[in-house]
Amino acid sequence: MLPDELTGSGRDIPAREHAVRAEEDLLTARHAVRACAVAVGFSIVDQTKIVTAASELVRNAYIHGGGGSMTITVVREGRVGLKLTVRDEGPGIADVEQAMADGFSTGAGLGHGLGGTRRLVDEFTIDTAPGRGTTVTIVRWKP
């Protein structure tokens, strides 16, 4: 059964927005995504993919973007999916192509971040510019 804020039919049905302001918010966000993935019937593999993608995005928002938010939306368009929108208030990304390349890292990570996230989901968009933060929207469809 879906949580009350996710039930309905037809169009996108927004869930609560989750703040990404402190380290503990990262775990809360991952748990929220997993709960929604279970509720809509994702397999364990698809749950793992969407939670891994969410984890990378909220971690980036927290570490590189100075915090922000994540919104989970159940999408019903003849099929069911989860759409995550992660926004931050950071400096933005000056070179998106470079940031998406495997091996690129601005920290101590392995450099699989945004490019790896893109491979885990069915749809990936990024809206960013220096000085105005970053918004990444991903969708994973239920097969």
> For 102-142, how does the pLDDT look when each residue is reduced to its tens digit (9 = 90+)?
655 555 444 457 888 999 999 999 999 888 999 999 999 99
Question: What is the per-residue pLDDT for 72?
Answer: 96
**CA–CA distance, 87 with 92 (Å, rounded to integer):** 10
Domain locations in the chain?
A: 16-141
For residues 4 and 119, the model is more confident at 119
Token pair in block for residue 69: 């938010």
**CA–CA distance, 92 with 6 (Å, rounded to integer):** 31
Give the residue from 85, 83, 91, 90 showing the smallest Cα distance to 126. Answer: 85
Q: Which H or E run includes 14?
A: strand 13-20
pLDDT in tens, 62-113: 998 999 999 999 999 899 999 999 999 999 988 777 777 765 555 544 445 7
Rounded to two decimals, the pTM is 0.84
* Fold of the CATH domain 16-141: Heat Shock Protein 90 (3.30.565)
Sorted by sequence, the CB contacts under 8 Å of residue 108 that are 6+ apart come out as: none
